[in-house]
């Protein structure tokens, strides 16, 4: 009998750590792309709507923003865009390519853990990028508007639930899209998925303002960005009316669970086929 010890399989945490280090190395190399992707859309919207329009005498959001001011209503929505879309693009775009003809994903799934661990690491790393994107974009958005942005101190417990929930939801959506959309359909994904999410996601107005259009107020409840926008509005601008915070939290984590279950099945099927 040989006295050599039997080979051991590394635990899940060391594998997650190794995969995250590899993703971090790629992110450090592409930091300029990360910043451009994070800042471009929110900066353009805040510059046009909250700086240019007031300077030229145009009014935006009258009757919607109320006493809070349109810039105050707009900033949490734009942070929501940065958080959600950073998480989505951090997974969906590269994963769609990795699962395509190049099959680059095979290098990852050779790790000595279940393939779902690889998928979960992608979601966690994308969620981390989403939080960083929100932290980067928020102070910049506060400097641009021509009118003051009045932030407040929301419930700390709500912040601890909403911010990770929004980030994890963004990663789950990205994974679901990445295992569903073929590389040649990425452009279509932005037209069919991203644009409707943005314009019907309570970004430019509180959800409560849709009382005047009851059918639309109900329809947009299927949009996950609504709950991210309303959640961040409840955290950053608690004086602005929002939907019930606990409805927001429940839907954020419920959506995340459902999408993650779907995406993990699709990831295992695509990588093991």
Alpha-helical runs (H) found in the chain:
12-29, 31-47, 53-55, 70-98, 106-109, 115-143, 156-180, 186-189, 195-199, 214-219, 224-236, 245-272
The answer to whether 263 and 255 are in contact (CB under 8 A) is no
Q: Write out pLDDT tens, residues 165-213.
A: 999 999 999 999 888 877 677 667 777 777 888 888 988 888 988 888 9
- Of the candidates 165, 162, 167, the one whose C-alpha atom is nearest the C-alpha of residue 234 is 162
Count: domains in the chain: 1
5 within some domain: no
Q: Write out pLDDT tens, residues 212-227.
A: 899 999 999 999 999 9
Q: Write out pLDDT tens, residues 43-89.
A: 777 777 777 767 766 555 555 555 457 788 888 998 998 899 888 88
pTM, rounded to two decimals = 0.82
238 within some domain: yes
Higher pLDDT: 145 or 99? It is 145
Number of residues that this document lists for the chain: 273
In sequence order, the 6+-apart residues with CB closer than 8 A to the CB of 246 are: none
Question: Predicted confidence band at 144 (pLDDT cuts at 50, 70, 90)?
Answer: confident
Give the domain range for residue 241.
Answer: 12-272
Residue 10 has pLDDT above 60, yes or no: no
Interval 21-39 mean pLDDT: 67
* Amino acid 2: pLDDT: 46
96 within some domain: yes
């Amino acid at each position: 009998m040989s006295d050599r010890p039997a080979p051991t399989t590394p635990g899940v945490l060391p594998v997650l750590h190794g995969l995250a280090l590899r993703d971090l190395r790629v992110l450090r190399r592409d930091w300029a792309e990360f910043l451009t992707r994070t800042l471009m859309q929110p900066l353009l919207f805040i510059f046009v709507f909250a700086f240019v329009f007031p300077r030229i005498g145009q009014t935006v959001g009258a009757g919607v923003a109320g006493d809070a001011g349109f810039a105050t209503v707009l900033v949490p929505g734009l942070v929501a865009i940065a958080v959600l879309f950073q998480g989505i693009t951090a997974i969906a775009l590269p994963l769609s390519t990795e699962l395509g003809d190049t099959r680059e994903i095979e290098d990852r799934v050779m790790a000595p853990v279940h393939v779902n661990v690889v998928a979960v690491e992608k979601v966690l790393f994308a969620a981390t990028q989403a939080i960083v994107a929100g932290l980067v974009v928020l102070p910049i958005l506060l400097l641009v508007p021509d009118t003051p942005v009045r932030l407040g101190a929301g419930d700390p417990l709500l912040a601890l639930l909403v911010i990770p929930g929004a980030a994890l939801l963004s990663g789950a959506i990205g994974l679901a899209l990445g295992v569903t959309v073929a590389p040649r359909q990425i452009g279509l994904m932005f037209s069919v998925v991203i644009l409707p999410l943005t314009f019907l996601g309570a970004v430019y107005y509180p959800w409560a303002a849709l009382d005047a259009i009851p059918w639309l107020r109900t329809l947009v409840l299927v949009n996950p960005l609504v709950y991210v926008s309303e959640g961040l509005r409840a955290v950053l601008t608690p004086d602005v009316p929002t939907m019930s915070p606990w409805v927001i939290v429940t839907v954020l984590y419920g959506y995340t669970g459902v999408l993650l279950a779907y995406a993990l099945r699709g990831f295992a099927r695509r990588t093991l086929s």
